[in-house]
Amino acid sequence: MSTRLLVTDGANKNTLAVLRALGREHRIDVVSHQPRGLTLASYSRFCGRTIRVRTAASDLDAYAAELLGMLAGDKYAALIPVGLQSCLAVSRRKADFEKLTGVAIADWEPMQVAYDRDRAMRLAASTGVPIPRTYRLTDAGSLDAINAYPVVLKANHPRGDLVRYCNDRREIEWHYAEVVKQGGTGAIAQEYVRGFGCGFYGIYDHGTLAAHFMHRRIKEFPITGGPSAVAESCFDGRLFEYGRRLCDALRWHGPIMAEFKYDSLAGDYRLIEINPKLWGSLDLTIEAGVNVPGMLLELAQGKRVKSTGSYSYLKYRWVFPGELKVLLCDRSFSNLKSFFAPGRDVRTNIWMSDPCPTAFQMVNGLAQGGLAMVSARRRYPHGKIRA
């Protein structure tokens, strides 16, 4: 018998992945801050209703109250929060949500540690997980402590548009006031790590790792660093140990990602940040055999997670919009070749059985990629590292 589920963040590609994983067996309504026509998941044949949220996601209390009102008005078997602000809002009012539906979400205290970059780095250092050289910036005077460049300037509380690459003192002075003002929090600066991005992904059951996954980024957009456009599953014992040690220390419940970069100079991994939510590359995880949405539903219903403990090694392309935007911004021969001749047995987010989201993503990729072609700021939103 199918059950009714409520899933947040309908504009996100990982929300579409949740619908495609669960939609054949369950009826799913989607919450979105965007109008229905701009909500990716609304185009899926697995989407029931699209419910627009009127409160700002950044207003956690108001957002939580609106979600609670939806759950009080309709009977849902489970809520699956997807984006960061949704996870924060639900975690903050976890007890109230659990009175109305099933939900797999971490408690508020570990959630605050995980999403605050400064606290996350201090936790990593205390558990022996390597991090880049990190400077805690409390005021403009603390910039004096930075003695090596380039560095990556970040607001303590994650927002993708509040990351800046700074090659010297002049650039960090220019960007520091902007990042602190827009972020509304303190900031950190970290040495720039040269190497590839990768991640440890976990599903935790009340502090115990129930399932895991790892991947390596091949292409990302923005091309200076961002969500995966092409990635491949992988396994590395050292990365697994770092990720597990860090997430175990949080006594986590639900989904979590520890984002690393492999430092090619040091020959080791460095923690970049913790993402206490469902990761953007969820399609790859599911395709590799780890049914994360199904596991979250089991946790939300008070069941034990059924996991094989293994997964397949494969490459995955988010052709639209991600890889298309990479190609429009970097029309090199290697990008052209890999886009039009990617090789055999490569999986993609193009579903012939659910075609409308692909059409929407193609239009989105052409529009955003076209704008990035003619705008250096869109092409390099974080700035550029000088060689």
Q: What is the pLDDT along the chain (387 residues), one digit of tens a residue?
A: 579 999 999 999 999 999 999 999 999 999 999 999 999 999 999 999 999 999 999 999 999 999 999 999 999 999 999 999 999 999 999 999 999 999 999 999 999 999 999 999 999 999 999 999 999 999 999 999 999 999 999 999 986 578 999 999 999 999 999 898 888 888 999 999 999 999 999 999 999 999 999 999 999 999 988 899 999 999 999 999 999 999 999 999 999 999 999 999 999 999 999 999 999 999 999 999 999 999 999 999 999 998 878 999 999 999 999 999 999 999 999 999 999 999 888 999 999 999 999 999 999 999 999 999 999 999 999 999 987
Cα atoms found within 13 Å of the Cα of residue 98, Cβ hemisphere only:
13
Does residue 356 contact residue 44 with C-beta atoms inside 8 Å? yes
Token look-up 């790792």 returns: 209
For residue 9, the model assigns a pLDDT of 98
Strand partners, 326: none
What strands, in cross-sheet order, belong to the sheet with 78-80?
47-52, 27-32, 4-7, 78-80
Does residue 168 contact residue 143 with C-beta atoms inside 8 Å? no
For residue 93, the model assigns a pLDDT of 98
Domain boundaries 197-379, CATH class: alpha beta
Which contiguous run of DSSP H or E holds residue 254?
Answer: strand 254-263
Closest CA to 85 of 157, 150, 187, 165: 157
**How far is residue 144's CA from residue 112's CA, in Å, rounded to a whole number?**
28
* Three-class DSSP labels, 259-301: EEEEECCCCEEEEEEEECCCCCCHHHHHHCCCCHHHHHHHHHC
Q: Where are the domains of the chain?
A: 4-103, 133-191, 197-379
For residue 160, the model assigns a pLDDT of 57
Domain boundaries 133-191, CATH class: alpha beta
For residue 133, the model assigns a pLDDT of 97
Is the N-terminal amide bond of 276 cis, ω within 30° of 0?
A: no
Domain boundaries 4-103, CATH class: alpha beta
